[in-house]
Structure 1
Amino acid sequence: MTNQPFSPQIPNITWKRAIGLGWDNPYKVRLASNLDDGPWHGSPLGGFGAGCIGRSSRGDFNLWQIDGGEHIFQNFPACQFSVFEETERSKQAYALCTESPTDGTLSAWKWYPASGVSSQQSAVSDNLTEEQTNTGSYYALYPRSWFVYENVFEANLICEQFSPIWAGNYQESSYPIAIFEWTAHNPTDKPITISIMLTWQNMVGWFTNAIKKPQVTVRDDGSPVYEYQPQLGNSTGNFNQWVENEFRRGCVLDRGRPDIYDVKEGEGQWAIATLANPAIEVFYHSRWNPVGDGADVWQSFAADGSLPDRENEKPCADGEQIAAAIAVRFTIRPGKTRKIPFILAWDLPITEFAAGIEYYRRYTDFFGRNGKNAWSMVRTALKHYETWRERIEAWQQPILDREDLPSWFKMALFNELYDLTSGGTLWTAASEDDPIGQFGVLECIDYRWYESLDVRLYGSFPVIMLWPKLDKAVLEAYARAISTSDDTPRIIGYNNASAIRKAVDATPHDLGAPNEHPWEKTNYTSYQDCNLWKDLSCDFVLQVYRYFVFTGKTDVEFLQDCWSSIVQTLAYLKEFDRDGDGIPENSGAPDQTFDDWRLRGVSAYCGGLWLAALEGAIAIGQILRERGLGMTMTGGTPVPQEKIQEEIQEAIDTYKGWLAKARSIYQEKLWNGQYYKLDSESGSDVVMADQLCGQFYARLLGLPDIVPNECVLLALKTVYNSCFLKFQDGKLGAANGLKLDGSPEKPDATHPLEIWTGINFGLAAFLVQMGMKDEAFQLTEAVVRQVYENGLQFRTPEAITAAGTFRASYYLRAMAIWGIYHVLTTGS
C-alpha cells in the first residue's frame, strides 16, 4: 500500500484512443485480395520470434500470431480481464471489452461500456449518465500500453501491459511473456473492494497448420499464397492445473503428450498467474466452459468478486472446450493505492515450416525445449518484471526527453517498432553457425516472405541501430545464399513468363517463406523474376557496409566473411551493363523494388544505388587490404595472404574503373537541371521521390558523394514541391512519382501515385541529412497522421492513396522512421 496521491506514470506522448470508440471512416484496403483486419489494433505483446498477441483499444485480445509467420485475427472472448467493485452504495462487475460475443456465448457476462456512446446506448451501464460517455482511454508506446478506466468504477483503475523488450537485449526480448500490472486507487472517503479476474481459454494445440502440404496458388495481384488451416478449437486432451508455489498462484494450461520430449509445433503450455500476500485473496476456477453462458465463473464473481476455488484436471473430451480463471480481491482504504501483477506466458517451443522442417525458438536457449516451462517463465516474470520495466524506461527516456523532437514523432518512433513483434517474426535458437540464432521479419502479411532485401534497405534501420546482432544474422544468411542456385522453373505472376527460382551469384530478393524452409530456400516471391532486379546486389553491399560502420568499424571479420559474396554478386549485376558504359541498365520491366513500375535504360534509382554500392565495395576492399587477412582455405588448400591481397586489389581496381565511367554517365544521361530523370530511355518526365536513394546511402555511410551537392539540393527541393506540396496540398505525404506540377503522368498508374510510408520516411531522413529539417518533419507528420488517425495504427501499410485506401499492412519498410532519428542524432 502507498500513501502518495494517485498519479499514473504514463508518458505524455503516447498514441491515445478512447476505450471502445470506433472510427467513422477508417482507411479500407485497396485490393480485395489484400488483408484488411479493420482498425481495431493495439500494441502487440510477446517477444521477438516467440509469437505475439494483440489487444485493441476496445479491450479484446484479437491478434494471434502464435504460429511462426502465420496470422489470425479473431476475438476469443473468454480470454479477458474482468473487474468487480463494491462500494458502500453498490456492486458492479464488467468484462473489460466493449464488444460482447455475437455467437451467444458468455451471455451471463456484463460487458464494459464504450466511450462516445449516445445516451440511449449508455443504458447498458447503470452508472453512466448522458454527460458521462467517456469510459476511459487506451494509451500505447510500444512495448508498453495502458488502459485507464474512467466514469464507470469509483476506484481509479489502470492496467499497464508490456513484454520485456529493450534495445541491445538478446535474451528477455525473446520471451513469450506478457505482464499486466494493475494499479487501483481509492479517491473516495470510504473503503472500496476490488476484484480483478483474468480468464484464459486453453489453446494448446491450436496454432499449427492442419494442412501439412499446403497448396500454393497465385493471387489476383500476382503474389504466391498458400493454404493455412489452424486447428482452432481442437482441444481434445487439454487440461488445466492449479498451481500454488510459495507466493505465486496460477493455472498452467496443458495438453497430454505420450512423450514430453517429443514436442511438436503447437504443443506446449500456457500459464496465467499472480502474486499472493496476506492483504489480498486469490480465487480460482481451473476448469470452466468458455463456450457456454459463462455463469460458472460470472455468478460468483459478479456477486462478491470471488470464484468457487474449483480444481479439476480432467482432460477435454472430443469437441469440448475449457478455460481457467484466477481472481484477486482486495480492499483499498480511502486515499490508498495498490498494485497487482498478472502474468501471461506461453511455451510453444517449436516452429515448423514445411513438414519436418522444425526450429526451436530463441527463448528456448534460456527456458528449455520440452514445452513444459510456462511456470518457470511465470516465476521469472514475477521476480523481474519491475526491473524489466525500468530497463524499458531507461532505454526510451532519453529520446522522450529530447525537446527538439515533436511529440508525434517520438510516439511514432517507438510504436512503429511493433512490427518486430507482430511482423510474423522468426528468431531461432542459437547454434554454432548462428551464435545469436537466425532472425527474420516478413515483408508483410500479404507478401509473406522474410527480410525482403530491397524493403529492409530502409526498414531495417531500427534493427541495425537497436539490435545490431540480429541485423548481422540476416546479412550472413544473404551472404550464404548468393552463391546458391535453384533451377526450379516458375511462372512469373506479372507477365506469365517462366523463370528459374534462383540464379547462381544473384542476390536473392528474400530469405524464404513460412511454408517452405526460410534461410535455406530463398526467392519465394514470384510476382517478378527477381534474378533480373537491378537493386538487390547493391542493397546487399550497402547493408553489409552499413553494419560495419554503424557498429563502430571494428568487425573486419564480418567484412571478410561477406567479401566473396560481394565480388560474386557485383559481377553478376554488371552483366546487365549491355552497352559497357559502367552502369547496368533496367530492362523495361519492373525490375526493382517498385515492381509495378517500368524503368528503361540507366535509371536514377538503380543507377544511383550501383554507384553507391561500388563505393561501398571499394571501401570494404581497402579495409581488408589495410587490416590484413589471415590464411583462408579454398577446397581444403590454404591460400596465401599475398594472393588474397592481390585478388582484393584487383577487385578494387575493377570497381574504381567501373565507377569512374559510371559516375559521369549517370550525370550526363539523367540530370536535367532540376532533378534526375526517371531513366534514360523511356522519355518520362516524372519526378521520382526516391530518385537519389544511392546518394543518401553514400553520405549516410561516409562515402564520397555520387553526384554534385548542388544537384542533390535542387533535386530534393523539386521532389518536395512536386511529389509532396503539390500532391493533395501536402496533407498525405509524397507520392512516388509525379510531374513537376504535381499531376500524374499516367492517371491509372499504381506505384507512382501511391504514398509509400517507408519511402517517405527514407526521403525525410535524406531531407534532414541535407539540412532541410523543417521540410522533413512536415512530410513525416503528414504520413504519421494518415496512419494514426485513420485506423492504420499497429498495422502500418506499405502504401496509402488519396482515395483513403491502403495496401500491404504490417509492412516492414515503415520502420524507416528510425533512419530519420539516426540522421538527426549523428548528422550523417
Structure 2
Amino acid sequence: MTNQLSPKIPSCTWSRPIGLGWDKPYTVRYASNIDDGPWHGMPLGGFGAGCIGRSSRGDFNLWHIDGGEHTFKNVPACQFSVFESNGTSSQAYALSTQAPDDGTLKAWQWYPTLPATEGIGNYHALYPRSWFVYENVFQAQLTCEQFSPIWAGNYQETSYPVAIFLWNAHNPTDAPITLSIMLTWQNMVGWFTNALKSPEVRVRDDGSPVYEYQPRWGESQGNYNQIVEDSQQFGCVFGRVGGDEPLQEGDGTWCIATLKLPQVEVFHHSRWNPDGTGEEVWQSFAQDGSLPNYLDGTPVADNTQLGAAMATPAAGIAIRFTLQPGETLEIPFVLAWDLPITEFAAGVNYYRRYTDFFGKSGDNAWAIASTALQEYQSWRSQIQSWQQPILDREDLPDWFKMALFNELYDLTSGGTLWTAASEIDPIGQFAVLECLDYRWYESLDVRLYGSFALLMLFPELEKSVIRAFARAIPQGDDTPRIIGYYMTIKAESPIAVRKVAGATPHDLGAPNEHVWQKTNYTSYQDCNLWKDLGSDFVLQVYRDFLLTGADDVEFLADCWNAIVQTLDYLKTFDLDGDGIPENSGAPDQTFDDWRLQGVSAYCGGLWLAALEAAIAISDILLTYQIGNTALAAQKSTYQAWLEQSRPIYDEKLWNGQYYKLDSQSGSDVVMADQLCGQFYARLLDLPDIVPSDRALSALKTVYDACFLKFCNGEFGAANGVRPDGSPENPKATHPLEVWTGINFGLAAFLVQTGMKDEALRLTQAVVEQIYNNGLQFRTPEAITASGTFRASTYLRPMAIWGIYLVID
C-alpha cells in the first residue's frame, strides 16, 4: 500500500464525460461508407498486431484483430467491473454505461448515468495512453490507465499484441473500504479471419472497389479456458484444441492476467455463459467481491461461447483488497493475444512482427502477458520520456498537443500490417490502409502528407514502405479492369490494365489479395495515368533520406533505378513538349473527382520539385560513384527538363495573385494545395520552384478565399473555391470538401512561410470539428459544411506531424 494519490493525467488530453453522447455527430456522406457512430475511443495494441478499442462509455467495441479488416461491435462480456463495500453497505457495477441490448447479462448492474451536473467521471486520451476517472459513484477514488508499449524509435515492444490496464484505487474517507476489481473476457480464438476465402470484389456506389468481410464471429467449437499461475502472476488463457492442421489466421491464444500482491485475494471463474444472465459470476461478485473459483477447462463441443473471469480487490483483472483511510493501491491487469498469422488471399500468409520476439506457435499469450506484468512500469516511463518534451513546450497550445498524439491512433488501428523480419526486410514490411472504406495500403498520393508521423517517429518503417514502392515500379500487370469513376458519372468506362511497368503504383495492394506483390488495387481511376504519383515517389525518397540523418546512401541507391523509370514514364505525358506533363481532363491525381486540364498548379509544381530532388539525389550518388557516366547523363537530363519547365510553370499559371488551377480549363478557382511542390522544395532545402513573393501572395489568397471566406473559417479550408469564397459549381464534390490532411499540410506551408498564427487558426478549426463532433479516433479524409464526412480512419491526417516538424 502507498499513500500516493491518483496518477497525474496530462492537461492536454482529449476528454469527455463517461457515457455522454453527442447531440449532432457528423454522419457519413455516402450510405455505403462505414459509419459506426461516434462511440470510438483510443485503440489498444501494437503496430501490426491487431488492436481493440474501448469507447468513452466503457464498452469494448472495436476489433481490428484481423489485419486490414474492420469489426465494430460491443461485446458486453468483455468488461471491467468493480465491487465496493464500506462495511455497512455495498455496490457493484460493470463499468460501461451501455447495457446489452440483446437481453444478455440481465443479472449485471451497469455503471449508472447521473444528472449532468453531478457527473460520473471522465474519459481522457493522449495516444498511446488513455484514462477512465470514476467519480460520484464509488466512495473510493478510482482511475484506470490504459496503454500499449508504443514509443518513438522502438521497433520491438511497439509490435506487441498487448494492452495494460493500470488501476489506481485510493481511499479518501475515514473508514476502511473493501474493493474488488474484476476483468471478464470472452474466448475469441478463431473468430478473426474471413470465412469467405475468395470474397467477390464489386464496385460500390461511390465507384470504389470493395469486397465482403465475414468474420467467424462466435464460432467457438474446440475453445477452452485454462487458469495459469506462477509465484507472482495469475491469469486465464483462452485457447482452442489443435488438430493436425497447420496454424491458420485467427488461431492462437488470448490471455487475461494480473499480479499476485501480498495484500490482495485473487478469485477466478474459468467458464460461464456470456449469452445467459451472467448470474454465475455476478451473484458472488456483487455479494462480497469474490468469485466461486470454479475450474472447467472442457473444450466447447458446439458453437456455444465462452467467457472467463477473475476477481480481486483493487484495480486489475479480478482482485479483492481493503484500503485503510488514506491508503492507495496500484494494480495492473493485462490483456494479450497471440494470433501470429495474417492471411491475405487464401493461402497467402505472413507472420506478424512480434513473432520475432515470441515465436510463431500461437501459444504465447501467457508469455506476452507475463512480460507485460514485469515491464509495464518501464514501458510507461519510456512513453512519458518520449512525450514529455513536446508536452512541456509552451509555444504549442494544448489542443495541438492533444491532436498531435491522438492522430497517431491510425498507426495502430488503420488495418496496420507489420511482418516478421526477413533477409531482404530486416525489420519486416510495414503498411497502413488509406482508410477503411478505401481498403488498400499506403496510397502514395495520400502519404505525401500523411507519412510525416511515421517518418519522424519510426524512420526505418517509413523507409521500408518506400522500398516496397521502389520494388513495385518496374513490375507490370496486364489484368484488364473497368474504371469505377465512369460509373458514378453514368458514362461508359474505358478498359485499363492494372499496372503499367515503369509507372508508380497508387497503392501497395489490399488485404484480400497479396499486399506488396499485387499493387494498384484501386480501380476508381486508372492510376497509370496519374500525374502526381511519380513525383510523389521521388520527393518521398529524398525526404526520407534527408530527414533521417542524410547518411543512408544505400537507401538512395536502392531507389535510384525506380526514380529513373518513373520520371521517364511521367515525361511521356508531356505531349506538347514544353517540359511539364499535362493533366488529361480526367481526374488523374489525388483529387480524383476533380478534372484538371493541361499544366496544373498541383501536378506541375510537384514535377518541378521532383526534378530538383532527383538532381540532388544524383549529386549524392555521384560522390560515391565517381565516373558513373550513366548517372551523370541522367542528372544532365533532369537539369535540362527543369530548365525548360520552370519558366513555363509561371508563364502558364501565374495570374498576378495566385496560381491558376490549370492552363486550359479557364477556371478561376483558388486551389488550396496549389503550391504543394513549393512546400516540398523548401522542406527539402531545394531551390524555390516559384518566386517567394508569388508564393506568399498565393498562400495569402488561399487562406483568405478557401478558409476565411468559406463558412467564415468554421470548418477549415475547402479544397477549391473562387476568390470570394463562393463555389464554382455548388454540386461539386472534392472542391467543396475540407480535407483534414490537406489542411494540415497547408498549415505546415503557412508556418514555413512565416504565417504561424494563421496556421494554428486553420489547424484549430479542423481539430475542433473532428474532436467536438464524434469523429475522434476515426478522423475522416473529408468533412463538409453540412455536417457529413467521407472515408473515416484516414491516413492523411497524420500530416499534423508535418506542422510540428516545420515549427520545430
Shorter-chain TM-score range: over 0.9
SS in 1 for 2:484: coil
**Which one-letter code corresponds to 1:510 in the other structure?**
D
Q: What displacement does 1:113 show?
A: 1.3
- Is the aligned partner of 1:11 residue 2:2? no
1:505-516 matched pairs, under 5 angstroms: 505-516=502-513
Q: State the partner residue of 1:69.
A: 68
Is the CA contact 1:461–1:815 (under 8 Å) kept in the aligned structure 2? yes
Distance 1:466 1:110 in 2: 43
Paired residue for 2:209, among 224, 238, 257? 224
Is the CA contact 2:538–2:614 (under 8 Å) kept in the aligned structure 1? yes
Distance 1:7 1:176 in 2: 27
Is the CA contact 1:416–1:794 (under 8 Å) kept in the aligned structure 2? yes
Q: Deviations over 1:193-225 (max 9, x none)?
A: 000000000000000011111100000001001
Q: State the partner residue of 1:381.
A: 372
Q: What displacement does 1:320 show?
A: 1.1
Q: What displacement does 1:627 show?
A: 2.5
Paired residue for 2:701, among 686, 694, 718? 718
Distance 2:513 2:337 in 1: 25
Is the CA contact 2:6–2:143 (under 8 Å) kept in the aligned structure 1? no
Q: Deviations over 1:336-379 (max 9, x none)?
A: 10001000000000000000000000000000001000111011
SS in 2 for 1:97: coil
Q: 1:701 to 1:116 in 2, by over 3 A?
A: farther
Q: State the partner residue of 2:173.
A: 188
Q: State the partner residue of 2:231.
A: 246
**Which one-letter code corresponds to 2:10 in the other structure?**
P
Q: State the partner residue of 2:43.
A: 44
Q: What displacement does 1:319 show?
A: 2.1
Q: State the partner residue of 1:211.
A: 196
- Is the aligned partner of 1:415 residue 2:412? no
1:174-323 matched pairs, under 5 angstroms: 174-259=159-244, 262-323=246-307
Q: What displacement does 1:7 show?
A: 4.1
1:615-634 matched pairs, under 5 angstroms: 615-628=612-625
Is the CA contact 1:428–1:439 (under 8 Å) kept in the aligned structure 2? yes
Q: What displacement does 1:278 show?
A: 2.1
Q: Deviations over 1:98-157 (max 9, x none)?
A: 01101110000000013556xxxxxxxxxxxxx53x000000000000000000000000
Distance 2:681 2:608 in 1: 9
Q: State the partner residue of 1:679.
A: 662
- Is the aligned partner of 1:592 residue 2:592? no
1:577-616 matched pairs, under 5 angstroms: 577-616=574-613
- Is the aligned partner of 1:811 residue 2:808? no
Q: State the partner residue of 2:316.
A: none
Is the CA contact 1:64–1:73 (under 8 Å) kept in the aligned structure 2? yes
Paired residue for 2:156, among 153, 167, 171? 171
Q: What displacement does 1:455 show?
A: 0.1
**Which one-letter code corresponds to 2:765 in the other structure?**
A
Q: What displacement does 1:773 show?
A: 0.2
Q: State the partner residue of 1:631.
A: none
Q: Report sequence identity in percent.
A: 73
Distance 1:217 1:3 in 2: 61
Distance 1:627 1:322 in 2: 62
Q: What displacement does 1:88 show?
A: 3.2
Q: State the partner residue of 1:669.
A: 652
Q: Deviations over 1:28-66 (max 9, x none)?
A: 001111110000001000000000000000000000000
**Which one-letter code corresponds to 1:812 in the other structure?**
L
User: With structure 1 as the length reference, what TM-score do the two structures score?
Assistant: 0.95
Mark the runs of 5 or more structure 1 residues left unpaired by the alignment: 118-130, 629-640
Q: Deviations over 1:638-678 (max 9, x none)?
A: xxx74xx1011111110010101100000000000110000
Distance 1:756 1:497 in 2: 29
Aligned residues: 795
Is the CA contact 1:143–1:163 (under 8 Å) kept in the aligned structure 2? yes
Q: State the partner residue of 1:147.
A: 132
Q: What displacement does 1:626 show?
A: 1.4
Q: What displacement does 1:386 show?
A: 0.3
SS in 2 for 1:73: coil
Is the CA contact 1:58–1:114 (under 8 Å) kept in the aligned structure 2? no
Distance 1:684 1:614 in 2: 27
Is the CA contact 2:63–2:71 (under 8 Å) kept in the aligned structure 1? yes
Distance 2:589 2:633 in 1: 29
Paired residue for 2:342, among 339, 344, 351? 351
Is the CA contact 2:445–2:590 (under 8 Å) kept in the aligned structure 1? yes
Distance 2:250 2:361 in 1: 12
SS in 1 for 2:661: coil
Distance 1:7 1:419 in 2: 29
Distance 1:401 1:715 in 2: 34
Q: What displacement does 1:246 show?
A: 1.4
Q: State the partner residue of 2:490.
A: none
Distance 2:566 2:719 in 1: 28
Paired residue for 2:672, among 689, 692, 700? 689
Q: Deviations over 1:601-660 (max 9, x none)?
A: 0000000000000000000001000122xxxxxxxxxxxx74xx1011111110010101
- Is the aligned partner of 1:761 residue 2:744? yes
Distance 2:624 2:453 in 1: 29
Is the CA contact 1:19–1:115 (under 8 Å) kept in the aligned structure 2? no
1:429-444 matched pairs, under 5 angstroms: 429-444=420-435
Q: Deviations over 1:263-320 (max 9, x none)?
A: 1100000000001122100000011111100000000000000000011100012121
SS in 2 for 1:494: helix
1:372-771 matched pairs, under 5 angstroms: 372-495=363-486, 496-628=493-625, 642=627, 645-771=628-754
Distance 1:768 1:246 in 2: 56
**Which one-letter code corresponds to 2:206 in the other structure?**
D
Distance 1:400 1:277 in 2: 34
**Which one-letter code corresponds to 1:136 in the other structure?**
G
**Which one-letter code corresponds to 1:247 in the other structure?**
Q
What RMSD over aligned residues (CA atoms) do the two structures have, in Å? 0.8
Distance 2:782 2:114 in 1: 30
Q: State the partner residue of 1:126.
A: none
Distance 2:567 2:144 in 1: 53
Is the CA contact 1:21–1:116 (under 8 Å) kept in the aligned structure 2? no
Mark the runs of 5 or more structure 2 residues left unpaired by the alignment: 312-318, 487-492
SS in 1 for 2:524: coil
1:15-30 matched pairs, under 5 angstroms: 15-30=14-29
Is the CA contact 2:479–2:498 (under 8 Å) kept in the aligned structure 1? yes
